[in-house]
A and B are shown apart, each in its own frame.
Chain A
Amino acid sequence: MIRVTRSAVIDAPIGRVWEVLRDFNSHSAWHPAVGESNIERNEPADQVGCVRNFFLKDGNHIREQLLALSDRDHVSTYCILDATLPMKNYVATVQLKRVTDGDRTFWHWQSTFDVPKGREKEFSDLVGNGVYEGGFAGLRSFLRKPGARAAPSGATIQAQAVVATAFGGPEVLRYQAVQSASPGPGEVRLRQTAIGVNYIDVYVRKGLYRMIEPPAAIGMEAAGVVMDVGDGVGHLLPGDRVAYACPPPGAYATVRTMSADQLVVLPEHVDDETAAAVMLKGMTAEYLLHRTYRVRPGQAVLVHAAAGGVGLFLCQWAKALGAKVIGTVSSEDKARLARANGCEFPIVTRDYRFAREVKNLTNGRGADVIYDGLGREAAAENLEALAVTGHWACYGQASGPQDALPDLGAKSGTLSRPVLFHYTAQRPMLEEIARNTFEALRNGTLRVDIRHRFPLAAAAEAHRELEARRTTGSVILLP
């Protein structure tokens, strides 16, 4: 068994070197010894198991299979399947590490293999010097080539994003190529792995919340892996799994460069899809139940859209806090789902009539707290359903904005208009809310049920489903 190890320092940030090396078919562009190369069966070049079929410029023919690829550890492992060279059991690993001193990259390339007796030195030189050292030199000159890629300091990556081309219906959303700049001070660049769809995305798309000027990408929530980190970012490293729920919009993208302030590192027990489903909606449930109003055991809690994304989390968590959970839903199916998630008394209504039922369920008292994402249409019914000295948290406006202040004096009621992003604006509070949300996932208080997964390119379809009230629970997009 021969072991060959070579290593080098490349004068470019790790994100830029990895961007090239993670592409299993890129070697024909940068390796001086490699001629024509194809990935068999048209598979993506980052699909584990794919096979590259290539010729060396000396005429040899090799097929190699990708065995492992990690964007977290910057590792690629592959083996030779067939070769016109007498090498057996060849397995090689490329690993990159960040040189923080100067923002460069350490590249470690190692393999083990067998060759016919007596030819060990010949092949260890061929692999070590010809392939690995030749590769170091080839990549260095490839990265310096003007035009082929941007300069090391400003490596811009081609990405895909869903852009609102104007304010309007789902049809204004277009899946298109965008540039993802290398991160500036205080920023990181993420390769996004799962993206959350929220009702706020609809408001942004319609222009009801003026948070973008079209054309611009929308979306507030995603999970991903840190590719590279700008100056002055202390809490994140390339390879960290992270998630966020924050403005500005722009989450509907394969790669995103953004401020590092609002990113939290994911614990191992929270996978990327769960994170994309829970960051905005789960953290919303956390602050609504503990901060906007502190729910106590035995209180009557009214949750509107109880089978929706936030609604299910509110039901689960309020139930765990010992509350009597009443909900409104638009169908029997949704009532069953809400019930299975802690909503003891789901009320089926499609015309926002529920006050009488709420009063019946509370001996005429009404709800101690109302979690209302409905807005205008239900205002009068909500006031009627509210208990004396009760609290009405109006955190959304699916049926349109609420204009006039309701007559709270009739109940000594209080009204709030809470927004997640105000609660999470300061990092200590963000971390506390995220920590409590992750803990609620770990101990089973929150259960994520992702029933709707769409490709990122089909974001418009996801919006249509959401607006037609055909979705329940969480909706995510997969890049």
Chain B
Amino acid sequence: MIKVYSSSVIEAPADAVWAQVRDFNGLPKWTPFVAESRIEGNLPADKVGCVRNFRLKDGGVIREQLLTLSDYDYECSYSILESPMGVENYVATLKLTPVTDGNRTFAEWWAEFDCAPEKERELAQGIGQGVFQAAFDSLKGLLRK
């Protein structure tokens, strides 16, 4: 089991950051790598159990299922159902915590998954930096405006 953990500080109140990230169908709006997304079966994007089906800008298609959505804890977790990444048992959580000192947001994003041993390093780097940190950076840019 591989664990990847990324965290950052976003210069905006937690409510504002949460408003941006709680939309499970909203990846194209705030991440730099998703081209388009839809929720399967026409379900609401905040119905726990719904599946987002999205296409990356590099062409890969990923299906992810919403496992947890907490407006109380600012927390969202999901699993990968299908992806070209070569991961199994992938579960990720995105969580926000207010930083009272400066009214900012501490954002954490972590994932656990299994994969072939020779792909561990590349995937850990790709997910931790290429996905989570890249999305944090994009979020910082959006919320600064």
Taking Cβ atoms with an 8 Å cutoff, the residues of A that contact B are: 5-9, 97-102, 104, 106, 108, 133, 136, 234-235, 237, 240, 427-428, 431
Contacts and interface: CB of A to CB of B under 8 A. Distances in A.
16 contacts: A5-B100, A7-B97, A7-B106, A9-B104, A9-B106, A97-B106, A100-B6, A100-B8, A100-B128, A101-B7, A102-B8, A106-B97, A108-B97, A136-B101, A235-B2, A237-B5
B138 interface: no
- 10 nearest CB pairs, A to B: A234-B124, A101-B8, A8-B101, A428-B117, A106-B106, A6-B100, A7-B99, A100-B6, A99-B7, A100-B7
Given A99-B9, A104-B9, A428-B118, A237 B3 contact: yes
B117 A431 contact: yes
Interface in B95-133: 97-102, 104, 106, 108, 117-118, 120-121, 124-125, 128, 133
B112 to A, nearest CB: 11
B4 interface: yes
B106 A133 contact: no
A271 to B, nearest CB: 19
A234 B125 CA distance: 7
A207 to B, nearest CB: 37
Contacts of A100: 5-8, 128, 133
Contacts of B136: 101
Given A101-B6, A108-B97, A234-B120, 10 more contacts: A7-B98, A9-B104, A100-B8, A100-B133, A101-B133, A101-B136, A106-B9, A106-B106, A235-B124, A431-B117
Nearest to A236: B3
Contacts of B7: 97-101, 106
B9 A101 contact: yes
A372 B120 CA distance: 37
Interface size class, chain B: 20 to 34
A237 B124 CA distance: 12
Contacts of A9: 9, 99, 101-102, 104, 106
Contacts of A106: 7, 9, 97, 99, 106
Contacts of A7: 97-101, 106
Nearest to B10: A101
Nearest to A99: B7
Contacts of B8: 99-102
**Max chain B Cβ within 10 angstroms of own Cβ: one of A97, A102, A234, A237:** A234
A459 B9 CA distance: 45
Nearest to A234: B124
Contacts of A5: 100
Contacts of A428: 117-118
A108 B128 CA distance: 23
A431 to B, nearest CB: 6
A8 B99 CA distance: 5
Nearest to A267: B1
A104 B8 CA distance: 9
B138 to A, nearest CB: 13
B42 to A, nearest CB: 36
Contacts of B120: 234-235
A7 B96 CA distance: 12
A99 B99 CA distance: 12
Nearest to B121: A234
A265 B112 CA distance: 14
Nearest to A5: B100
A237 B112 CA distance: 12
A431 B106 CA distance: 34
Contacts of B97: 7, 106, 108
A234 B5 contact: no
A133 B101 contact: yes
A106 B97 CA distance: 10
A180 B121 CA distance: 27
A8 B128 contact: no
B40 to A, nearest CB: 32
B109 to A, nearest CB: 9
Contacts of A235: 2-3, 120-121, 124
Contacts of B104: 9
Interface in B5-19: 5-9
Contacts of A99: 7-9, 106
Contact of B128 (A98, A104, A234): A234
